[in-house]
Amino acid sequence: MEKVEKLCASGLWVAEIDGEPVGVLAVGTELQEWIPPADEPELYVRLLVSSRRHAGNDIGGALLRHARELARADGVDLLRVDCWAGDNGRLVGYYVRQGFTPTATFTVGEWPGQVLAMRP
């Protein structure tokens, strides 16, 4: 429950289609301990999920565009996200198509991860 409360406190946005929640974005400045800190102010995508039932509607893309707008509004020049790097980098590829560039890699247990960044 504490994790959810932290996500909500940092900034949480819900995407809807016809009043139905179809995606969630959480952004903030707090990082997980395995993420290398940036050497400048940043906004970090802490959570991005979208409904598989509505795949193809660019829900994640719309939420990431919103994150870019939030960074710009805050005067922050760096937006970062991390994701699972397994499965031949499919999720990493998604973020690259959204305009992010891979930066650092990390491992949590046996879970391979990738940090990506963009200049909003």
Comparing 26 with 58, the larger pLDDT belongs to: 26
For residue range 68-99, what is the model confidence (pLDDT) as tens digits?
999 999 999 999 999 999 989 899 999 999 99
pLDDT at 5 over 90: no
Comparing 100 with 87, the larger pLDDT belongs to: 100
Amino acid letter for position 64: L
All structural domains of the chain with their residue ranges: 2-118
In CATH, what number does 2-118 get?
A: 3.40.630.30
Confidence tier at 61 by pLDDT (50, 70, 90)? very high
43-50 sheet: strands from edge to edge: 12-17, 20-28, 43-50, 79-84, 111-118, 101-108
**Residues sharing a CB contact under 8 Å with residue 86, sequence separation 6 or more, in sequence order:** 111, 112
Judge if pTM exceeds 0.85. Answer: yes
For residue range 8-46, what is the model confidence (pLDDT) as tens digits?
566 789 988 889 999 999 999 888 888 989 999 999 999
Burial class for 33, CB neighbours closer than 10 Å (0-12, 13-18, 19+): exposed
